[in-house]
């Protein structure tokens, strides 16, 4: 692969990662919908977000070590699969426990 194609691949990969991480920043919109549509309390809406943020922060260093050992491609691949599964199953499990597990833990990883 020539350098130009590789550079664009890195740019679009980084864009994808940052768009995925942006979901954490949009949680305020998601929590408002949970309160309005599902009558959750404000505290209930923050449990999945709090856990996702904690899991994300706690796994940064091990993730970095895995990237150093295996390279970014396999680590991003596994991370993408976990994020996708977390999103998918969060949509199917709109309960406090379901979102806490699938968004908080699976997506957070």
Per-residue model confidence (pLDDT) at position 52: 95
Buried b (16+ CB within 10 A) or exposed e, 46-68: ebbbebbeebbeeeeeebeebee
Sequential pLDDT tens for the chain (109 residues): 688 888 998 899 888 888 888 888 889 899 999 999 999 999 999 999 999 999 999 999 999 999 999 998 899 899 989 999 999 999 999 999 999 999 999 999 9
Distance between CA atoms of 22 and 56, rounded to whole angstroms? 13
Q: What is the pTM of this model?
A: 0.86
Q: What pLDDT, on a 0 to 100 scale, did the predictor assign at position 23?
A: 83
According to the model, what pLDDT value does residue 21 have? 81
Residue 103: phi, psi to the nearest 5?
Answer: -85, -50
Stated as kind and residue range, the H or E segment containing 61 is helix 60-70
Could you give the C-alpha distances from 85 to 4, 9, 70, in angstroms and in order? 32, 23, 22
Say if CB 51 and CB 108 are below 8 A apart: yes
């Amino acid at each position: 692969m020539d350098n130009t194609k590789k550079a664009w691949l890195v740019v679009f990969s980084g864009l994808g990662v940052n768009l995925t991480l942006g979901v954490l920043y949009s949680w305020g919109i998601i929590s408002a919908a949970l309160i309005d549509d599902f009558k959750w309390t404000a505290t209930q809406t923050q449990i999945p977000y709090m856990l996702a943020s904690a899991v994300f922060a706690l796994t940064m260093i091990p993730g970095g070590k895995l990237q150093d050992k295996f390279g970014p491609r396999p680590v991003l691949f596994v991370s993408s699969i976990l994020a996708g599964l977390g999103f998918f199953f969060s949509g199917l499990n709109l309960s406090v426990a379901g979102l806490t597990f699938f968004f908080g833990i699976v997506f957070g990883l």
